[in-house]
Structure 1
Amino acid sequence: MSGIESMLQRNLQVLGTGRELARLADKVLSAYPDPYQLAVTQASVILRKHTGKDWDPRQVWWHQFSRASSSHRSFTGWAHSSPPAKSLRFTELMVERFDPGFQEATDSLDLYGGFYRQGPHAHTYDERNEVPMLARDVQQDFWALDFAQLYRRQISAFWAAYQDDFRLLAKVNLLGQCARAERGGYIDSADAAQLRAHVVPGLSAGERAPSLAQLREQSSVELRASGYGLGVASGAAIYAIQGPGTRVLLYCPWAEQALRGFDNLQGMAGWLREHLATAQGRGAFQQALIADPQDLEAAQAVQQALQALGESPSDAAALAVLKQQRSPVGHLLDALVEHARQEMQHTAARLVDNSQLRKALWRGYLGAFLKVFGGFVPLGWPVSLVLLGATLAKVGLEVDGALHARNAQERKAAMRTAILDSIFGALNMVDVSFGSSLASLTYQAPFHELDASLAEWEVEQAPTSSLAGDEANELLDSKPMGSDRLQGIRLGTDGSCWIELEGLPYRVRFSPELSSWLIVPPENPYAFGPLRPVRMDAAGEWQLLVPPRLLGGAPTDGLASEPSAFWDEYMHTHLDRSQTLSNAARARQRALLQGRAIDVLDDEQEPLVDEDGFDFIDSEGEHVYTYRHDGEYRNHRIFMYTEEDGAKINRFLREGEREFDYGDEVEYLDNLADDLGKLPHNNDVPLYRGGHGTRSTSGTHFRSGQFKVGDVLVNTDLTSFTENPYIVRLFAADNDLVAGSGVEGVFDDSSVVFELPAGSYQHGTPISPFSSHPNEAETLFLPGSYFRVEALKEIRGGDYHFVSVRLSEVPRPASGEVYELRTGELFDKAAYAARLGSAELANRFFPD
């Protein structure tokens, strides 16, 4: 067996357990009490209650003014043209509340204050940038909201539901730390075997990986463990683990190197003495152990304890100092988890009802998590996170950055990566090439793969037709054939896996969720898309599996009807799952911008405002509309397009109607096109667009037989696609009606879903980081994008049916007819220019 095959066999053996642990980590992280996210969630509920819209509360401002003028156009009846005297984001206002003077004089709230989409830099505050809410109504919601009590309930609910899972992940982290320490020579093989046996029953040999059942069991192998406070008020700062004899392991769960072995306790004390004699060594311990630097008494206690150890005249004296702070802890894992729980409750107790959160609180809440999974960290990086493996060093975020609101998603993603790194080590997985093995563990299976069952799937009789375009340009004869779990699989030197099906090569990956191999894109084996499972028949030939065909009935309107396991999942209304995909899409789109030269506005500064009311910054005398501020990407023109103003702009493009509040429509579109042209295009993911007759995009003309594969369509408006398929139902159905299943949205013959497969388009611009509705995971195409029809069919499910139109973006045809994507009408450039009242704008989008 080759080295590559041996490593792949090893990883396949434990991949199922690894992915189960990864999903468990996702559940724990998702439920982990986060006061910031709780604030955002509660703020979003209030905003939706009063506006009926899903506003991002971080983009909504409360402004307080010293004077006002009446306005019959604004929601409050007032407008303001002077700079605000005080400004808070909505999430900040929810915690800090309105000024005391307004608490009694509630009638003055809406006269001298209001909610707006622009910060304190705007020239005017009126109907153009207001958020339609009355402050006196919001104040009632604030008084009804006991934020501190909500947070405490969240903590209680978390430990009631997830204590066992938390303990299991803490075990995994300790096993991973053990494996790293043994590889690094910090502990010997006997140390490692004893520790593994203490953590997991029957687990001692380093080459064995625990099963999920083993991880859930309590070991009967006891090791003596002692905790040492080192000035910490409650719990232990470090642990000493002793087995038979005098050998001892120092365990600092918060440290980058968590485990170190010594011949005896005095040897451990000597190492601590030497390490703490240096300012750098003491600084690392202080950063980890001082939960709140503002608590001077507690900070001084830690500093004095560390100083006493570091200044001990001998190792024996250092041991004597340690013994004064020793306390037995019983079973190590039980002690660690209890410490994490108590610390989180202590953090919650410091949160005063309906008052301002201090920075130390944010740090304290994170501390509970971190001290179980990898490191006690500055300002209380949570013990709980440490125990899961998410130390500050591994997460790679500065404390201010890690705790700041703008990094909420990045922080959680970094925590997840750190925890999965511990899982990788605990299972002794081997990285075959450039992170490919770790990718198989960190990969989050899409929901249509996670919940699918292949039990009733059938063999596809014409697989090459169904797989057209998925085959690889790869010679398989030179690749060795695998055995056992890899039977019938050709192995690449980089760990890639391949099969031959009806004479054509395809790349595959193994899905532990389905216990099946899947055909995947050759260049991106973890790409999002429909399932293509394969199995080997008795003759050793690979077969493609497809969902059972629909029974009976003739093709509808000449279109063949098919079921879709993919759309059976994504036509459901799963708010949590949809949010997960939207978060991933937003993170992906933000990553595309990180390598770009984008100007940054200092957090202490505010943008300027142009004559049309759009925010910009000055860069060496140039007006720059795309920039970073307060950790977020900004472009006010794009932001306003994603608001209701975008509907006004598209009505202008579709009907010539002029109702835009921010200057001239033609000038705005010219400027918007310039801004989009400076942003990165990307085609790494499939895109989807839903349409319905009630939303000005109908699928009826695709049912009439008017169109066939090969026809070319063009968009004449700003056309949005999403990379989150859960969003599609909102646009492909009549949402004023309720389906028989009880789900909002009824489909009819005007329902249509357009799909652009990954790699099949060139000019889409991801705009989610700039959007007022980032959950829509939007990619925008300017007018004048041409699309060829690649496939037409009807998809039918339990409570949905629609025309599925698969497209690919193509250059403008040299000849032949072109039809409007939205209406199916023949495109007429002259009529389009007349509708816009601007030949120049028409020529920009449709050059001769």
Structure 2
Amino acid sequence: MTDPYAQSLEWLKDAKTILEKARRYREAFPDLQSLAHEQASAYLLMQTGMALDPDQVWWHHFRKGDNRRARSFTGWTHHHAPISSLTFTELWIRRLDVELQDEDADTIFRLNGFYRDGPGAQAFDAQNEVKLDPVKVRKHLWELDFANVVRERTDRFWSNEGKDLPVLLKVSFISAIESSLMAGHVTTEDRQRLWAWMGLEAGKRLSLAGLSGPGGTGDYSVRHYPMHGGGHLLTFALRNGRFLLYTPTADVVLQAFDDVAALRIWVSRQLHGEEGQSWYDSLHKPYAEVDEATRKAGLQRLRERSGTGPAPHWPFGLGAEVARPLFEQMSEWVRHDVEAGHRILVSNSDLHKQYWRHELGIAITVLSVFALGWQPLGMVLFMLGSVRLGLDIDALVNAPNKVQRNEAFTSAVCDLLVIAFSVYSVLTESTPEQWDTYMEVDQASSDLVSRAVRQRHKALLNQAELPGFEGHMAPTDEFGTPHVARQGERFYSFRHEGDVHNNLIEQYSGHMAKVNDVFSIGRQRLAAVPEDELRAFLDNLFDSMEQLPRSGAKVLWRGGRGPRVTIGARWRAGAIRRGDVLVSTDITSFTESPYIPRRFMLPKEAVDLPLAQVAEHFDDNTVLYELLVDGQASGVPVASLSLNWQEAEVLFTPGRYFRIESAGEVSGTHYRFLRIRLREVLKPTDKPIYAMRTGLPFDRHAYLQLVQHDAVVERFFPAAAWT
């Protein structure tokens, strides 16, 4: 397949299919929080006759002495904060604390109760109590084997959905290879061998068919070293002695070594270095937060096994050879990890054992059961712990409801797909029939392309010659904006902890976006911003943009609509034509994603509606600018710096000139717009210049009066060039 448009749609089709597999997989997984909420809701309705939300009903345990006789369901009132509190959903999972299991009814009523208010309430009495008998609740929870309910649902899940996991794990592994190559941890030759070992050809675009093959045959001998307490480590060995270390949950996921001695030395340095505990913990996720003494003892054991000196030992034992296809085996490990979690979420038959509280404490504090909502941790860590793409694992596991947890997981899988498919090089000059696709609402495809652009921009910025900052917080200027000084020059773009940061661009993509009004409609919306701060922001923003690399894109797009954009009517009236030159008069945003212009061709309330419902909004002022740049544009890549990364933006300063190469109507069943093809050029000296938005002749004097910032106008429209 050679047509770039067909290629772009083909990768999107396969990536979306895999994404849908991941979505179904996660949605089908038994969500502990949801199961508990469902059962607890039914119980509350049965006992109280009211449809109460179990997340808003609290069980409180009070200290002795904090109780007064009162006319209430329990017979007591309390006026101090409780010692401990659980929502009814949490209680459904955890049952009652050990010390309450043998307490008599009088004691339970005197020091405990159910209430509509959380632990911050001023009082706990008849006004906010829920009339539930705690003795009956305790009896019911003992009769209910909730862990067994979860286990049965999970077994059903593996039977129905488990077959998709090897494909998802292979995508994760490919993403780890590509990320490790970019970071310099493996070589191009390593990458080619690993792809061939999976039955794939490095450099060729992935397909669903290729990913569905078993892989895991050929050059490598693979050994698995299970970590004590959870976690996995693997080695890939070649006959020539070269080794790859695969640690799915560590910061360095894949690391290549010329021989086994180099591997042992590297591992020894990790264990004995200042960050040894952190590295050890990263190998043992999700158990990295077991009590500190246990973790330190585990690290010390490995240090002793490794030894010191020029020839350290391998500390992880003999391991076991992986005889079956790796990704099928990894699927089994994920299942075993989940089952291990079930054993921590103990069944009722275990509750009388002495270690019950310790084990359940691990479930709650380590696995963060209540916040986690019973995430399938093995799946999460195998698939997502291997790639650092700005993924916030805390955000994933702490999402407050199942929908948000599913979306966080799906979002992370999108990032894996972007790296695995390496898609961002295939989007090229558009043809009219493309817009039948790009004018439709397709959030999944749009999101995948935007993530690809964000990754490409991040890579471009990481290659730029920018200063770095070591420490917690960079210095700030008089307006509180972080920067780094180098040879007396301020850099508002700088490296910190492996990423490039620019707080000015971040602000511009958020609360300071309206500064662009200065160049178009004036300062009406900027009255609250002091003039000196406004001018400094613009000056520093433009300075920082000059310090960034160019975008290198092949084609960029920009959508527009009336009343602010009126160039369409000017073209149709013959006032401007092919060969005329337009100039950017403000901070001008283009996008590398063809799915984004639609959002700027429609009013805000219509952008997410099906195309058939928004046809009336396309009119003579609906415009698509298509900038043919072939990697030569002056715009800077900001997707990885912007709060609105989904827009896949490339920013141009004012004073950039674009020649009209062609223009013509593009239409479909439910849309129409004027497509104006542009190419960036130098300022011509012998012909008029037109404003990009309006198509009206550019008047520097009027522009100077509008902007009221002589230095900025002179910077982009020097008077000497306009005389």
TM-score, scaled relative to structure 2: 0.53
Distance 2:10 2:657 in 1: 46
- Provide the residue aligned with 1:529 in structure 2: 428
Which amino acid letter does the alignment assign opposite residue 645 of structure 1? M
Residue 769 of structure 1, CA deviation: 2.8
The equivalent of 2:530 in structure 1 is 663
Q: How far apart are residue 789 of structure 1 and its match?
A: 0.6
Gaps of 5+ in 2: 2-8, 32-116, 124-149, 175-196, 200-206, 215-222, 236-243, 308-316, 346-359, 397-407
Q: Is the 8 A contact 1:653 1:716 kept in 2?
A: yes
| CA shift for structure 1 position 813 | 0.7
**Aligned pairs (5 A) from 1:330-345:** 336-344=330-338
The answer as to 2:674 corresponding to 1:803 is: yes
Matches within 5 A, 1:779-794: 779-794=650-665
Question: How many Å separate the matches in 1 of 2:614 and 2:363?
Answer: 38
Partner of 2:164: 165
Amino acid in the other structure paired with 2:686:
S
Partner of 2:581: 712
SS of the residue aligned with 2:455?
A: helix
Equivalent of 2:700, from 829, 838, 844?
Answer: 829
| 1:345–1:710 Cα change, 3 Å | farther
Q: Which runs of 5+ in 1 are unaligned?
A: 1-7, 9-15, 39-99, 107-150, 176-195, 201-209, 218-226, 240-250, 259-270, 312-320, 371-381, 421-441, 447-525, 532-562
Q: How many residues align?
A: 501
Distance 1:281 1:614 in 2: 36
Q: State whether residues 739 and 746 of structure 1, in contact with CA within 8 Å, keep that contact through their aligned partners in structure 2.
A: no
Q: Does 1:653 align with 2:519?
A: yes
Distance 2:649 2:171 in 1: 38
Q: Give 1:710 shift.
A: 0.8
CA–CA distance in structure 1, aligned partners of residues 230 and 709 of structure 2: 73
Task: Deviation per CA, 1:74-102: give whole Å up to 9, x if none.
Answer: xxxxxxxxxxxxxxxxxxxxxxxxxx999
Q: Map of 1:363-382 to 2, 5 A cutoff?
A: 368-369=378-379, 382=381
Check 1:683–1:369 CA distance in 2 against 1; reply closer, same or farther (3 A cut): same
Determine if the alignment matches structure 1 residue 643 to structure 2 residue 496: no
Q: CA contact under 8 A between 1:697 and 1:823: conserved in structure 2?
A: yes
Q: Does 1:683 align with 2:693?
A: no
Distance in 2 of aligned mates of 1:691 and 1:642: 18
| Counterpart among 461, 474, 490 of residue 593 in structure 1 | 461
Question: Which residue identity lines up with residue 835 of structure 1 in the other structure?
Answer: L
- 8 Å Cα contact 1:714/1:818 also seen in 2: yes
Instruction: Work out which of the residue numbers 816, 831, 835 in structure 1 matches 2:687.
Output: 816
Within 5 Å, give how 1:114-513 maps onto structure 2. Answer: 162-167=161-166, 232=228, 290-291=284-285, 292-295=287-290, 336-344=330-338, 346=340, 368-369=378-379, 382=381, 384-385=382-383, 442-444=421-423
Q: Counterpart amino acid of 1:529?
A: T
Q: Which residue of 2 aligns with 1:741?
A: 612
Q: CA deviation at 1:787?
A: 0.9
> Which whole-Å deviations, capped at 9, do the CAs of 1:398-423 have from their partners, x for residues lacking one?
9x9996889999996996699x6xxx
Q: Match of 1:608, SS?
A: coil
Change (3 A) 1:838 1:105: farther
| 1:303 Cα deviation from its structure 2 partner | 8.6
The alignment's C-alpha RMSD in Å is 6.3
Contact 2:26 2:409 in 1 (8 A): no
8 Å CA contact 2:560, 2:601 repeated in 1 = yes
Question: Structure 1 pair 306/759, CA: closer, same or farther in 2 (3 Å)?
Answer: closer
**Structure 1 residues 302-332: Cα deviation after superposition (integer angstroms, max 9, x where no partner):** 8999999999xxxxxxxxx99xx99999999
Instruction: Describe the shift of the 1:152–1:656 C-alpha distance in structure 2 as closer, same or farther (beyond 3 A).
Output: farther
Amino acid at match of 2:519: L
Residue 801 of structure 1: how far off its partner (Å): 0.7
Contact 1:820/1:826, CA 8 A, preserved across alignment: yes
Whether the aligned pair in 2 keeps the contact of 1:732 and 1:751 (CA below 8 Å) is yes
Q: Secondary structure of 2:596's match?
A: helix
Rounded to whole Å, the distance in 1 between the matches of 2:281 and 2:395 is 22
Aligned residue number for residue 843 of structure 1: 714
Equivalence for 1:672? 541
Name whichever structure is richer in helix by fraction: 2
Aligned residue type for 1:591: A
Deviation at 1:780, TM superposition (A): 1.5
On the 8 A contact 1:792/1:804 being kept in 2, the answer is yes
CA distance in 1, matches of 2:631, 2:537: 29
* TM superposition shift of 1:741: 2.0
**1:164 shift after superposition:** 0.9
Q: Is the 8 A contact 1:638 1:771 kept in 2?
A: yes
Secondary structure at the counterpart of residue 824 of structure 1: coil
Is the aligned partner of 1:572 residue 2:401? no
Distance 1:580 1:411, change over 3 A: closer
Are the structure 2 counterparts of residues 235 and 527 from structure 1 closer, same or farther at C-alpha, using a change threshold of 3 Å?
Answer: closer
Sort the Cα spacing of 1:836 and 1:237 in 2 relative to 1 into closer, same or farther, 3 A.
closer
Range 665-674 or range 614-623, more displaced: 614-623
1:802 shift after superposition: 0.4
Contact 1:736–1:744 (CA under 8 A) maintained in structure 2: no
The one-letter amino acid paired with 1:684 is A
Q: What is the alpha-carbon distance in structure 1 between the residues aligned to residue 504 and residue 290 of structure 2?
A: 46
Structure 1 range deviating more: 661-670 or 699-708:
661-670
CA contact (8 A) 1:736 1:745 kept: no
Inter-CA distance 336–716: structure 2 relative to 1 (3 Å threshold): closer
**2:591 is equivalent to residue 722 of structure 1:** yes
1:340 Cα deviation (Å)? Answer: 0.8
Q: In 2 relative to 1, CA 307–638 (structure 1 residues): closer, same or farther, beyond 3 Å? A: closer
**Are 2:492 and 1:625 aligned?**
yes
Query: Does the 8 A contact of 1:656 with 1:836 survive in 2?
Result: yes
CA distance in 1, matches of 2:552, 2:712: 26
Q: Is this contact kept in 2: 1:734–1:745, CA < 8 A?
A: no
Query: Greater RCO between the two (CA within 8 Å, min separation 6)?
Result: 2
Equivalent pair of 1:33/1:158 in contact (CA under 8 Å) = no
Conservation of the 8 A alpha-carbon contact between 1:733 and 1:745 = no
SS in 2 for 1:806: strand
Identity of aligned residues (%): 25
Task: Measure the CA separation in 2 of the matches of 1:668 and 1:332.
Answer: 53
Q: State whether residues 662 and 677 of structure 2, in contact with CA within 8 Å, keep that contact through their aligned partners in structure 1.
A: yes
- 1:65-76 equivalence runs, <5 A: none
> 1:724·1:777 contact (CA, 8 Å) conserved in 2?
yes
Q: Corresponding residue for 2:635?
A: 764
Q: CA deviation at 1:638?
A: 2.5
Give the direction of change, closer, same or farther, for the CA distance of 1:215–1:843 in structure 2 (3 Å limit): closer
Secondary structure in structure 1 of the residue aligned to 2:468: strand
Q: Measure, in 1, the Cα distance between the counterparts of 2:538 and 2:306.
A: 67
Query: Residue 693 of structure 1: SS of its match in structure 2?
Result: coil
**Greater displacement, 292-301 / 577-586:** 292-301
Q: Does the CA-based 8 Å contact 1:695-1:731 persist in structure 2? A: no
Cα distance in 1 for residues equivalent to 2:456 and 2:546: 19
Determine if contact 1:687/1:756 at 8 Å carries over to the other structure: yes
Could you tell me how far 1:730 is from its partner in structure 2?
1.4
SS where residue 589 of structure 2 aligns?
strand
The CA distance in 2 between the partners of 1:356 and 1:236, in whole Å, is: 17
Q: What SS does structure 2 have at the residue aligned with 1:833?
A: helix
- The 5 A counterparts of 1:42-61 are none
Q: Specify the SS of the correspondent of 1:600.
A: coil
Change (3 A) 1:667 1:215: closer
- Structure 2 vs 1, CA of residues 773 and 355 (structure 1 numbering), >3 Å: closer, same or farther? farther
